[in-house]
Amino acid sequence: MQATAMIQILVSLVLQLLVLKGGADYIPPSRLEGFVYQPRPFDWDDTVLIEAFYDPVCPDSRDSWPPLKKAIHHYGHRVQLVVHLLPLPYHDNAYVASRALHIVNRLNSSATFPLLEWFFKHQEKFYNAPTKNLSRASIVEKIVNSAAKVAGSSYHTAIKNGFNDTQSDYQTRVSFKYSTSRGVYGTPFFYVNGFLLPDTGSAVDYNAWRKVIDPLVGAKSVKNEESLHYFL
Ligand SMILES: *[C@@H]1O[C@H](CO)[C@@H](O)[C@H](O)[C@H]1NC(C)=O
Ligand SMILES: *[C@@H]1O[C@H](CO)[C@@H](O)[C@H](O)[C@H]1NC(C)=O
Ligand SMILES: *[C@@H]1O[C@H](CO)[C@@H](O)[C@H](O)[C@H]1NC(C)=O
């Protein structure tokens, strides 16, 4: 009889594990994580990949964006930027802001980066202290109204519904899990061609980006092997 009870407990444990595992089946996700900035044809031999890990309500992320954007524009098709979100747990509104970006990206992907810039510009409104007495619902409402101004007013209802939709929650969780799985624990972090750029955590200025990217772009334009050895 005790054995039967044990078996019952074991079976129920296994079932619970299966259910839990089922809940986590969104890893790996069905597409690569991240918002691609002005997508261009990706050439494995020629494209420098920069990954920026941002929190939309983080001041250091905000400060690092203009010089990075300027550098990306300078290199044109040679550099591809992908932004990953890491909503930091100590920024109270980072998760809803990140979720808004996923919602808008799905509805009107041209508005993703404009909305990220909107958050950077207005992020003070969403810091912990000024939102201390506000309800979650009122913060979401504010974000929905602003996101609709950026993405197009025709999307207002769709953006609002997006916050009541498991898919946007799921995508934001995937962002979080992706960033943490890459060892990212603060923002901004930058990876260049898959390697962590040292000295992150503070804004990298335009000249610093030029110093990082110039040699990579230069090395790639050298096609003959002899010169390649020189660079290696
Ligand atoms: C929050 O509410 C407390 C208590 O009513 C008040 O003292 C404080 O000034 C409020 N803070 C903000 C940022 O509104
Ligand atoms: C999508 O967003 C872009 C950028 O904000 C905007 O220019 C465009 O009008 C939007 N599209 C629609 C259909 O509203
Ligand atoms: C959110 O979705 C649930 C189920 O899909 C629905 O019952 C509920 O009314 C929705 N809430 C809002 C505020 O739209």
> For ligand 2, is residue 150 a contact (CB within 6 Å)?
yes
- Give the residue among 84, 71, 70, 65 at the shortest CA–CA distance from 217: 71
> Which ligand is nearest the CA of 162, by number?
3
- This prediction has a pTM of 0.85
Q: Is residue 223 part of a domain?
A: no
Choose the residue to mutate in 108, 117, 150 for probing ligand 2, maximizing ligand atoms within 8 Å of C-beta.
Answer: 108
Choose the residue to mutate in 103, 109, 110, 155 for probing ligand 2, maximizing ligand atoms within 8 Å of C-beta.
Answer: 110
Question: What tens digit of pLDDT does each residue of 166-225 get?
Answer: 999 999 999 999 999 999 999 999 999 999 997 655 668 999 999 999 999 986 554 444
pLDDT value of position 155 = 98
Residue 15 has pLDDT above 60, yes or no: no
Q: Is residue 225 part of a domain?
A: no
Burial class (CB in 10 A: 0-12, 13-18, 19+), 6: exposed
Q: Is residue 127 part of a domain?
A: yes
Question: What tens digit of pLDDT does each residue of 125-163 get?
Answer: 999 999 999 999 999 999 999 999 999 999 999 999 999
Domain with 49 in it: 2-206
pLDDT value of position 19 = 43
> Which ligand is nearest the CA of 117, by number?
2
Token pair for 137: 């619902």
Q: Long-range CB contacts (< 8 A, 24+ apart) of 193-202?
A: 193/48, 193/49, 194/49, 201/60, 202/60, 202/64
Cis peptide before 56 (omega within 30 of 0): no
Q: How far apart are CA 66 and CA 90, in angstroms?
A: 24
Residue 16 has pLDDT above 80, yes or no: no
Q: Is residue 160 part of a domain?
A: yes
> Between vectors from CA 192 to CA 72 and to CA 217, what angle results, nearest 5°?
60
Residue 105 has pLDDT above 90, yes or no: yes
3-state DSSP percent of the chain in helix, strand and coil, to 5: 60, 10, 30
Q: Write the CB contacts of 142 (distance below 8 Å, at least 6 apart in sequence).
A: 125
CA torsion sign for 110, 113, 114, 115 is positive
Q: How far apart are CA 193 and CA 173, in angstroms?
A: 24
Residue 10 has pLDDT above 70, yes or no: no
Q: How far apart are CA 67 and CA 118, in angstroms?
A: 17
Q: How far apart are CA 160 and CA 53, in angstroms?
A: 26
pLDDT value of position 198 = 79
pLDDT value of position 18 = 44
**102-114 average pLDDT score:** 98
Give me ligand 2 centre to Cα 217, in Å.
Answer: 33
> Any idea how long the chain is?
232
pLDDT value of position 137 = 97
Q: Is residue 75 part of a domain?
A: yes
Q: Is residue 167 part of a domain?
A: yes
Q: Is residue 177 part of a domain?
A: yes
End-to-end CA distance of the chain: 71
Question: What tens digit of pLDDT does each residue of 34-67 get?
Answer: 999 999 889 999 999 999 999 999 999 999 999 9
Q: Is residue 222 part of a domain?
A: no
Number of H-type helices and E-type strands within the chain: 9, 5
Question: What tens digit of pLDDT does each residue of 71-97 get?
Answer: 999 999 999 999 999 999 999 999 999
- Phi, psi angles (nearest 5°) of residue 187: -135, 145
Q: Please tell me the total count of domains within the chain.
A: 1
> For ligand 1, is residue 128 a contact (CB within 6 Å)?
no
Q: What is the CATH number of the domain that holds 137?
A: 3.40.30.10
